[in-house]
């Protein structure tokens, strides 16, 4: 029985020694002040092409420490069978005293668990000298600026102003020297007396005054167009004259034929009925009167041109 117990103890010692050789941990400093950081280096010897699972930093063997930054992992050497992986942690602690721990567990291929050798870390409390008197706080010292502090900003402002001035100068010079575009001069088209009269008759018909029961206004404007045309072409005074006086004045010019005078007489007669007797001619009659006015303009213009 004693021999069996001795064999088991030797086997446990060999396993522990083998695991401590496969995972070696060491501290950069085993004693630190409260809040001071130290470097923990863990060297792992693992078989080639094996899967290694690392312990959780916040829940594993470092749960009693504050880990500064992100752990660093690096492979520094390897041979045909094993490789050496170095894990570096920067840790600190804010509770005084001594603490012992083992780095791990590191799991290889999900079934082989290894731990490091035991290590200890002592955190010492800073010694405060309470024998000396407490000194008063020094007042806040104002910052003294020199020209070297203001020089970069002043140079930038001056350069910016110079650029703006140069840009404005070239813009003014460009607009002054730029050739001015000459807009084409629109020359109004001079219409003849016949063209103006025909255009006025067309515009009058487009108003459709008779359709709005404004017969008196329609015939008044139609006769005013003819009177203006006769005065300009024949040189007679027909405004402010009655229809009979206007007809006699135009007959005396010997520029109209018998048919033209009869058509003009019929137009003047119906226009007087519209203005003084509230006569409302039919649509066909109104169109006939417009045709008579156009024929008087055309024929009289031809007579004047031939003469």
Q: What is the CATH number of the domain that holds 110?
A: 2.60.40.10
In a domain, residue 167? The reply is no
In a domain, residue 268? The reply is yes
Of 98, 45, 83, 88, give the one whose Cα is nearest residue 68: 88
Range of the domain at 31: 16-124
Higher pLDDT, 161 or 175: 161
Q: Which of 124, 144, 174 is the last residue of a domain?
A: 124
pTM greater than the 0.75 cutoff: no
Predicted confidence (pLDDT) per residue in 127-142, tens digit: 777 777 777 788 888 8
Asked if residue 285 and residue 202 are part of one domain, the reply reads yes
As for how many domains the chain has, the answer is: 2
In a domain, residue 269? The reply is yes
Cα separation values, 285 from 109, 196, 275, 293, Å: 116, 24, 16, 13
In a domain, residue 70? The reply is yes
Residue showing tokens 């668990």: 113
* Of 6-20, 100-114, 157-171, highest mean pLDDT: 157-171
Q: Which of 124, 142, 159 is the last residue of a domain?
A: 124
Predicted confidence (pLDDT) per residue in 282-303, tens digit: 888 888 888 888 888 876 444 4
In a domain, residue 223? The reply is yes
In a domain, residue 172? The reply is no
Q: Dump strand ranges (E) for 60-127.
A: 66-67, 72-78, 82-92, 97-101, 106-108, 112-114, 119-124
Cα separation values, 140 from 133, 134, 137, 144, 145, Å: 21, 18, 9, 12, 16
In a domain, residue 86? The reply is yes
Asked if residue 202 and residue 106 are part of one domain, the reply reads no
- Describe the strand order of the beta sheet including 31-33 as a list of residue ranges: 31-33, 119-124, 97-101
Calpha distance 49→254 (Å, rounded): 130
Q: Which of 104, 124, 144 is the last residue of a domain?
A: 124
Calpha distance 112→95 (Å, rounded): 34
- As given in the structure block, the two tokens for residue 49 are 């092409």
In a domain, residue 160? The reply is no
Is 44:85 a contact under the CB 8 Å cutoff?
Answer: yes
């Amino acid at each position: 029985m004693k021999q069996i117990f001795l064999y088991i103890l030797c086997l446990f010692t060999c396993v522990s020694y083998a695991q401590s050789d496969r995972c070696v941990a060491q501290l950069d400093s085993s004693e630190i002040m409260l809040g001071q950081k130290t470097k923990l280096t863990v060297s792992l010897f693992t078989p080639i092409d094996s899967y290694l699972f690392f312990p959780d930093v916040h829940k594993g063997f470092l749960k009693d420490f504050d880990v500064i930054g992100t752990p660093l992992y690096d492979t520094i050497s390897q041979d045909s069978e094993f490789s050496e992986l170095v894990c570096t942690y920067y840790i600190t602690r804010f509770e005084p005293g001594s603490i012992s721990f083992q780095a791990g567990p590191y799991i290889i291929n999900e079934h082989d668990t290894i731990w490091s050798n035991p290590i200890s870390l002592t955190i010492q409390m800073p010694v405060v000298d309470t024998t000396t008197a407490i000194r008063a706080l020094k007042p806040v010292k104002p910052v003294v600026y020199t020209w070297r502090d203001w020089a970069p900003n002043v140079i930038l402002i001056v350069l910016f102003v110079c650029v703006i001035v140069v840009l404005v100068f070239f813009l003014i010079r460009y607009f002054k020297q730029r050739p001015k575009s000459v807009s084409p001069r629109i020359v109004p088209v001079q219409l003849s007396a016949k063209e103006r009269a025909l255009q006025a008759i067309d515009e009058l018909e487009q108003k459709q005054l008779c359709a709005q029961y404004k017969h008196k206004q329609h015939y008044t404007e139609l006769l005013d167009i003819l009177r203006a045309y006769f005065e300009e072409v024949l040189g007679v005074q027909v405004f402010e004259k009655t229809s009979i006086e206007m007809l006699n004045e135009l007959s005396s010019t010997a520029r109209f034929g018998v048919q033209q005078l009869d058509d003009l007489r019929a137009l003047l007669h119906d226009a007087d009925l519209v203005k003084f007797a509230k006569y409302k001619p039919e649509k066909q009659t109104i169109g006939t009167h417009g045709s008579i006015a156009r024929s008087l303009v055309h024929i009289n213009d031809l007579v004047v041109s031939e003469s």
